Amino acid sequence: MTSQSLLDGLVASARPLAAQGKPADYIPALARSDPGAIGAAVMHVDASLVVCGDARVPFSLQSVSKALALPYVIDSLGEEEVFSRVGKEPTGDPFNSIIRLEASRLKRPYNPMINAGAMVVTSLMPGATVEEKLGAFSRYAAPLLGVARLDLDQEIRDSEAATANRNRSIAWFLRDLGLLGAEVELTLDAYFGQCALLVDAVGLAHYGAVLARDGLEPGSGRRLMSPRAARVTKGLMQSCGLYDGSGEFCVEAGLPAKSGVGGGILASARNRLGIGTYGPALDIRGNSLAGVHIIAGLSKGLDLFCL
């Protein structure tokens, strides 16, 4: 079991790292995040919880939503529908890179954890309108995060939409390749919406614990997602979850994880626990400096390394 002193010590030792990074300033609403905010939560599969710092401060899911959208579409439409349009390989490129779409002989996104692949997944979400897509997705994701409902931060959603020139370029390129399951603007509006849904570190830890048991709710054992969707998601988190920092993180922490530029990181240790962290001061790859430090420290301190 995770000791409070271990988590407290890791959060304290992560605080100086905030000065080495900064929030995602290319999205104006995220640029105002407090770079000194740091929180962490650990939920064991029996639902016991350890928290520290700003673990209950809400922030937007951003790319962590990709690790929820993927199993949702797999459980809704089947694995074959997803991976006929998106690959399963890491890229080594930044999360918003467009170059592989044109240069690769595959002519499809390498994986669902980069923006191009995630937009394809979002386009496949059931629903004829943005409201239908996001409503059904939120109903699927809320119990995974241990909450009754998910709220959308409209300011963040609008801020992303206003500064999304690269994502719009990617979406139109995906349409040209025939990979989208919905029109471009519908896909983009739903994608910006899923990224702007609010969560906290405790919610991420809850989802990590769900993944740790291949889709079973912590404590109750109620099935929330299919075992296959959980395993596919963890496999892609392991290889692709921290953008072009995934390989280094895998070496240091050895856990499947997914980060987002809102400052959150989700991680999972099989049959043991889930971890959620928050720290909006990011490194050059878009990963939370504090979150990477805390998760690597937990992996070492609790012998979680899974490889």
Chain mean pLDDT for the chain: 94
Task: Confirm if 181 and 120 have CB atoms less than 8 A apart.
Answer: yes
Statement: residue 96 has pLDDT above 70: no
Yes or no: is domain 4-62+198-302 CATH 3.40.710.10?
yes
What dihedral angle (degrees, nearest 10) is formed by the CA atoms of 114, 116, 117, 121?
Answer: 120
Q: Which fold has domain 65-195?
A: Beta-lactamase (3.40.710)
Catalytic residue among 33, 63, 65, 97: 63
For residue range 146-197, list pLDDT tens digits in order. Answer: 999 999 999 999 999 999 899 999 999 999 999 999 999 999 999 999 999 9
All CATH 3.40.710.10 domain ranges in the chain, comma separated = 4-62+198-302, 65-195
- What percent of the chain clears pLDDT 70, i.e. is strictly above it? 95
Task: Confirm if 156 and 27 have CB atoms less than 8 A apart.
Answer: yes
For the question of residue 63 being annotated catalytic, the response is yes
For the question of residue 140 being annotated catalytic, the response is no
- Which tokens is 225 given? 């997602």
Statement: residue 103 has pLDDT above 70: no
Nearest-angstrom CA–CA distance, 201 and 199: 7
The per-residue pLDDT for 95 is: 56
Catalytic residue among 73, 261, 288, 299: 261
Catalytic residue among 110, 207, 243, 278: 243
Residue the block writes with tokens 């979150």? 291
Range 45-74 average pLDDT: 98
Range 227-247 average pLDDT: 95
For residue range 11-31, list pLDDT tens digits in order. Answer: 999 999 988 999 999 899 999
- What percent of the chain clears pLDDT 90, i.e. is strictly above it? 89
266 strand-pairing partners: 258, 276
Catalytic residue among 66, 133, 234, 258: 66
The per-residue pLDDT for 78 is: 97
The per-residue pLDDT for 176 is: 93
At 107, the pLDDT band (50, 70, 90 cuts) reads confident
Weakest-pLDDT range from 91-95, 112-116, 181-185: 91-95
Amino acid at position 120, single letter:
V
Statement: residue 98 has pLDDT above 70: no
Catalytic residue among 72, 110, 140, 191: 191
Order of strands across the sheet with 257-259? Answer: 49-53, 39-44, 273-278, 264-269, 257-259
The per-residue pLDDT for 101 is: 66
For the question of residue 66 being annotated catalytic, the response is yes
Q: Helices (DSSP H) in 112-244: which residue ranges?
A: 115-123, 130-144, 154-162, 165-176, 184-195, 201-212, 227-240
